[in-house]
Amino acid sequence: MIPVPLLVVVMGGWCAVYLTDTLLKLSSTHRIRYESWLASRGLMLSPFHVRWQTTAFNRLFAYCARINPRAQYLWFNSGLVFGVVAMVGSVVLLTRTLQQTLAQMTTDSPGVRGQQALQVIPGVNLPTSQLAYFFIALLLSGVIHELGHAVAALREQVRVNGFGIFVFVVYPGAFVDLFTTHLSIISPTQQLRIFCAGVWHNFVLCVAALALLFLLPLFLLPMYSTGGGALVTEVVQGSAADGPRGLSPGDIVTGLEDCPVGGVEDWSSCLSRLSQTPQTGYCVPGASLQPSWAHGRAFKRLDGTMDCCSNNSLTDLCFSYMSPQGKNSRGREYACMPVRKMVSGTQVCRSDGDCVAAPPHAAAGVCVTPSLENRTRFIRVTHPPNTHMLFVGFPPHLQYAVSLTNFIPRFGFLHLDLPVFLETFCKYVVSLSGALAVVNSVPCFALDGQWMLNALLEATLVTVVTDRQKRELIGFFLLLAGSALLAANVALGLWMVTAR
């Protein structure tokens, strides 16, 4: 659900802005001065929408359009090809997404549910803590998109009246104002280069952010090292990993039981493996399994597993083991023992055969296994130089309780979260810039796809369908179909996100 305080702030802010704007425009003493102030700064206000436009960047756009004309010709022709391919690809993608959404609605299949990820709604399926990443990445993607249009237009001798930024409710965006008379007299191919430049630059930005994401360890190598473990950046308060003997920001996790952890990916794979395999055991000296350990009477839990410790015990755990040979063997036995003392510095095992003593020790060990409920696991978390953190619970809970990163600072003054900020921002840029490229390629009214389709039909059908009105009619029905496809995806996607 959308947080109520955030909704109140947004609605209250817009109401205050609109009320102030209305009062100033109705004022006989301030109206002229206020409207002159808005016009001089290129500001326009309307309900839930503010827009700013300037000509300050026109020289920059013109300079960019003059850089290496031959290379730019190849660049924007590549954009033209990409735009046409993306227009077809976006229709195929939206069609498949619509089929998957309908299948999910009818079958409620978990496999299909995982594929539905087109709708991102701040406060609903986007954490409020990451709103800054979302809006900055969205604004950057919009600016790069419009920069492509502006430079391509100036290359084709189309005047740029100005560049602007707007905010609609909470969503930021950018735009360029092109001189439509110049735009209408150039050839359809030239128009297509201009219209495709936006989605082309979004695609390039997406690829650049993806490359930066993969090369980030190399760029940060002088300041951060990788491969030495997973660095803890945050621990959820009150979780199983919190506490005096738990994990803390700055700890470096190097192992989970006998599974080495060299980074976040190893951490996730180790937890997945430990949750899917039987509980590991620990080699302890046979002499420690004497009656002096105060064996408890084992009793069955509701799921059929055995327990032998008091429910009030916080330091003891029930262990099971096979009776040592030569004693009155009754098969598997159970003992309630101090867990930290039992497992500290001991070797993991699966059976007594793994605990064969090596010279010069004479006595062989016994493999004892924590007796836990079916999906519960006992896990030793290695984070030197501290002692092991001992976790008892469902392994995915440990994954949700801790935030980690692959990057370990080489110097004490470096911020732990800097690589996390860069990684997260790059991921948002990849997602949002790629989404803008896909959505704007759709042949839909009011999107770039509308003008891309019209220019493409004029460039390709002029010899086949000589009547201009017939070409426009074909374009209208194609745009109508594309608009319906996009609207159906958005409507059903919003319903899936908010209703479930």
**CA 135 to chain CA centroid, nearest Å:** 14
Strand stretches in 77-203, DSSP E: 160-168, 171-178
Closest CA to 82 of 207, 172, 174: 207
**Cα–Cα distance between 431 and 322 in angstroms, integer?**
54
Contact 442, 479 (CB under 8 A): no
Q: To 10 degrees, what angle do helices 58-65 and 131-155 make?
A: 60
Closest CA to 482 of 98, 82, 79: 98
**Cα–Cα distance between 85 and 450 in angstroms, integer?**
15
Contact 101, 495 (CB under 8 A): no
The b-or-e profile of 410-435 (16+ CB within 10 A means b, else e) is: eeeeeebeebbebbbbbbbbbbbbbb
Contact 155, 72 (CB under 8 A): yes
Catalytic position from the list 146, 156, 257, 333: 146
Closest CA to 281 of 134, 170, 380: 380
Contact 372, 306 (CB under 8 A): no
The full DSSP string for 399-445 is HHHEEEES-EESSTTS-TTHHHHHHHHHHHHHHHHHHHHHHHHS--T
Closest CA to 145 of 69, 90, 206: 206
**Omega of the bond leading into 172 within 30 degrees of 0 (cis):** no
Place of tokens 């419009």: 146
Is 146 a residue of the active site?
yes
**Cα–Cα distance between 291 and 335 in angstroms, integer?**
9
Place of tokens 């209408």: 184
Sign of torsion, CA 462 464 468 471? negative
Distances (CA, A) of 54 to 39, 50, 142, 350: 10, 14, 16, 71
Residues in a beta bridge with 321: 333
- Say how many Å lie between the first and final Cα of the chain, rounded: 11
Residue 300 CB contacts under 8 Å (≥ 6 apart), including other chains: 306, 307
**CA 153 to chain CA centroid, nearest Å:** 34
Residues annotated as catalytic (active site), given as ranges: 146
